[in-house]
């Protein structure tokens, strides 16, 4: 199912939002999140009963527990109305450089703290599952530095900055990582973990990549001598990813603490991997990843 645009009712009415989510998660019938049973019924107030029943509550016939569609998702235990959650997901999926918690706070009419918390949970949903296939074909590898006060890449100027290493399939997917130090051991380890042995790797001539040729077909481009494209050997794709990442982190998020950097990498990676589909489809893909990703962050004061 697609989210067509922000005018749709699920973004403006919390009951419609819940129905929308029920149709999405339970397209083949209601499933109890506690025991997996498909024998559940909707609780309705008894005629003449004075006890109100909350909308959207189901009861499992097998384990007798009650639940709603948000149990087991990033929305669980949140006081933010569900339609605002759906709208935040849409906004984060459709804004190329992301959207700050300040902007979400103003656009959705929720507190800054709630907006911050919400955005982090959504980034969490955007995180790739740990079991993913390896990158194939031509894979470009490069590192960059995020944060800090000074411009500069390796060596001078990179103090206070956090190295980010990225692997990008040409015309395909990205994996990016916060890295402690850009050593052959660290970068090589990520490459072995994420890149198929049959792939061809493109890098610049940084020493940390020197031994890759022993395990992979490896081509380099010599940036030091002003060479940017050497036949098919270039790293323009991964540099393109870094450029979107930096415009977003510098322009929208201003400051990203090292502690949360991986969440932002997940967000930019998610949009990059799904860049060829329209906003509505990208948002529904994010929405399909809300399960099993409950996050119990404390909102920082
Ligand atoms: Zn059950």
pLDDT tens per residue across span 22-64: 999 999 999 999 999 999 999 987 777 777 788 899 999 999 9
User: In angstroms, what is the span from residue 125 Cα to ligand 1's centroid?
Assistant: 24
User: In angstroms, what is the span from residue 5 Cα to ligand 1's centroid?
Assistant: 35
SS (H, E, C) 16-41: HHHHHHHHHHCCCCCCCCCCCCCCEE
User: In angstroms, what is the span from residue 67 Cα to ligand 1's centroid?
Assistant: 9
User: In angstroms, what is the span from residue 128 Cα to ligand 1's centroid?
Assistant: 28
Instruction: Note whether 37 and 60 are within 8 A (CB).
Output: yes
pLDDT tens per residue across span 72-110: 899 988 999 999 999 999 999 999 889 999 999 999 999
Residue 297: what pLDDT? 46
Which residues of the chain fall short of a pLDDT of 50?
3, 156, 294-301
Residue 152: what pLDDT? 52
* Contacts of residue 69, Cβ cutoff 8 Å, sequence gap at least 6: 18, 21, 22, 25, 26, 56
User: In angstroms, what is the span from residue 143 Cα to ligand 1's centroid?
Assistant: 48
User: In angstroms, what is the span from residue 65 Cα to ligand 1's centroid?
Assistant: 6
Residue 134: what pLDDT? 95
Residue 299: what pLDDT? 40
Residue 226: what pLDDT? 74
Residue 123: what pLDDT? 94
Residue 300: what pLDDT? 38
> Cα(263)–Cα(228) distance, rounded to whole angstroms?
31
């Amino acid at each position: 199912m697609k989210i067509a645009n922000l005018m749709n009712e699920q973004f403006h009415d919390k009951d419609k939002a819940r129905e929308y989510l029920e149709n999405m998660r339970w397209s083949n019938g209601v499933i109890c999140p506690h025991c997996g049973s498909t024998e559940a019924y909707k609780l309705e107030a008894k005629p003449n009963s004075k006890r109100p029943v909350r909308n959207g509550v189901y009861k499992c016939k097998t384990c007798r527990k009650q639940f709603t569609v948000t149990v087991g998702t990033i929305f669980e235990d949140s006081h933010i109305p569900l339609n605002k959650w759906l709208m935040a997901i849409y906004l984060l999926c459709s804004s190329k450089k992301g959207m700050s918690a300040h902007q979400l706070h103003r656009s959705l009419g929720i507190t800054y703290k709630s907006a911050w918390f919400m955005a982090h949970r959504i980034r969490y949903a955007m995180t790739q599952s740990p079991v993913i296939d390896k990158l194939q074909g031509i894979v470009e590898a490069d590192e960059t530095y995020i944060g800090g006060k000074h411009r500069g890449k390796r060596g001078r100027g990179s103090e206070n900055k956090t190295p980010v290493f990225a692997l990008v399939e040409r015309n395909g997917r990205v994996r990016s990582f916060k890295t402690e130090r850009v050593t052959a051991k660290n970068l090589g380890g990520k490459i072995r973990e994420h890149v198929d042995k049959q792939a061809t790797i493109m890098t610049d001539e940084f020493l940390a990549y020197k031994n890759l040729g022993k395990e992979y077909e490896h081509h380099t481009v010599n940036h030091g001598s002003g060479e940017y494209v050497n036949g098919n050997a270039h790293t323009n794709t991964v540099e393109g990813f870094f450029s979107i990442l930096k415009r977003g982190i510098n322009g929208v998020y201003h400051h990203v603490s090292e502690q949360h950097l991986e969440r932002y990498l997940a967000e930019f990676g998610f949009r990059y991997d799904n860049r060829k589909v329209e906003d509505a489809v990208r948002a529904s893909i994010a929405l399909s990843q809300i399960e099993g990703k409950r996050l119990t962050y404390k909102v920082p004061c």
